[in-house]
Amino acid sequence: MYAAALDRRLAACVVSGHFMESTAKMVRPSPHYTAYIEVDYNYPFFSRQATEFADADICSLICPRGLHIEQGREDRVSYWKMAQEEFRIVQGWYDRLGLADRATFEIFEGGHFVAGQEAFTMLGRWLKP
């Protein structure tokens, strides 16, 4: 997601299992996901990210290119309902530009892994020469 936001050479982006309301993910414990504040990791805390950039904001920099977000219902890294809510913001930007078909969201049965089926279909659509 971050690479696609920064590098316009990337024609499409798939986000798998790491998309939701990022401030909550960092600092608000939940029974649905593990907050970063609860674990001994420091890599998720990018400078000023929690106060300036939500995941949807990062995806606004990907628009109008193809974007697919997939999320497992049993994923403890990202809560699918929060991912779905955050995606509604992203979908709004694509909709207003008349590009709704370029941003897709998939919820699959399973945990923190790449489902890939719809993602590869989307990539095949956007990466054809």
More reliable by pLDDT, 116 or 47: 116
> pLDDT above 70 covers what percent of the chain?
89
Are the C-beta atoms of 24 and 82 separated by less than 8 Å?
yes
Are the C-beta atoms of 117 and 81 separated by less than 8 Å?
no
Amino acid at 88: R
Structural domain boundaries in the chain: 2-126
Quote the pTM value. 0.86
- Average pLDDT of the chain is 88
pLDDT tens, residue by residue, 33-85: 777 777 776 656 566 666 678 899 999 999 999 999 999 999 988 899 999 99
Name the CA dihedral angle for 9, 15, 21, 22, rounded to a multiple of 10 degrees: -70
Q: pLDDT class for 117, splitting at 50, 70, 90?
A: confident
Our CA angle for 25, 29, 34, nearest 5°, is 65
